[in-house]
Amino acid sequence: ETGVTQTPRHLVMGMTNKKSLKCEQHLGHNAMYWYKQSAKKPLELMFVYNFKEQTENNSVPSRFSPECPNSSHLFLHLHTLQPEDSALYLCASSGNRGGAKNIQYFGAGTRLSVL
Amino acid sequence: AQKITQTQPGMFVQEKEAVTLDCTYDTSDPSYGLFWYKQPSSGEMIFLIYQGSYDQQNATEGRYSLNFQKARKSANLVISASQLGDSAMYFCAMTVKSSGGSYIPTFGRGTSLIVHP
């Protein structure tokens, strides 16, 4: 069983729907991340939380709303998405104590399709 | 700004042969970390190997080694004795300290490796 679990694995939603992605880590880490992976594009960092506080927001549109209730759980709330938001959304966690040796542990991702 | 360049979109290798995946990086920060991750078709990114900017020796982890040439700003991944299970996307990444105080990775576009029997 992976240390980082993402649900659902697949999601199809219309542009007017509201849905949420969930990420849970069992590694005792204090930092959690959301990434977007689109075809033919590098992995894009979206949000970073450290000890439940958001420390990075890479100019992500407001239709993506993150929530981190504790160091083990991370959500990404989605509403009024666009077809170009279709992608693989990856969650990761790290201990964030190793300085530059910030090894990230990833979940298997949620494959999102926006119709 | 940090930049990672992987110039090989796809690579092929015969089973049991060695293969080198290229990665060059650009940063003005003297302290940074370099990583390689593997992404099989299942989607999960798997950490393979790490090299710190101040490390004197090249990192090795089993069949993986990182050929770190600091002056050339390159961090190539060498996989020895390739196996069929090595077929996957491989991503090079670099971390530097952000203005927010966290170490944030920047990823390259990846190289697709196919191992032939």
Range A71-93 average pLDDT = 95
Are the C-beta atoms of B78 and B22 separated by less than 8 Å? no
Q: Chain A residues with CB inside 8 Å of B31's CB?
A: 99-100
pLDDT one digit per residue (tens) for chain B, 117 residues: 789 999 999 999 999 999 999 999 999 999 899 999 999 998 889 999 999 999 999 999 999 999 999 999 999 999 999 999 999 999 999 998 877 777 788 999 999 999 999
Tokens found for residue A13: 């939603």
Dump the DSSP string for chain A: --SEEEE-SEEEE-TT-EEEEEEEE-S--SEEEEEEE-TTS--EEEEEEETTEEEEE-S--TTEEEEEEETTEEEEEEES--GGG-EEEEEEEE---STT----EE---EEEEE-
Is residue A48 within 8 A of residue A29, CB to CB? The reply is no
Buried b (16+ CB within 10 A) or exposed e, A88-113: bbbbbbbebeeebbbbbbbbbbbbbe
Q: What is the pLDDT of residues A1-51, one digit of tens each?
A: 569 999 999 999 998 889 999 999 999 998 999 999 998 788 999 999 988
Reading phi first (left if > 0) and then psi (alpha if -120 to 50, else beta), residue A70 is in beta
**Chain A residue set in contact with B, beta carbons under 8 Å:** 2, 31, 40-43, 45, 48, 50, 55-56, 88, 90, 92, 96, 98-109, 111
For B20-51, the pLDDT digits (tens) are 999 999 999 998 999 999 999 988 899 999 99
Min Cα distance A55 → chain B (Å) is 6
Nearest CB to B103: which of A41, A96, A111?
A96
Is B107 an 8 Å CB contact of chain A?
A: yes
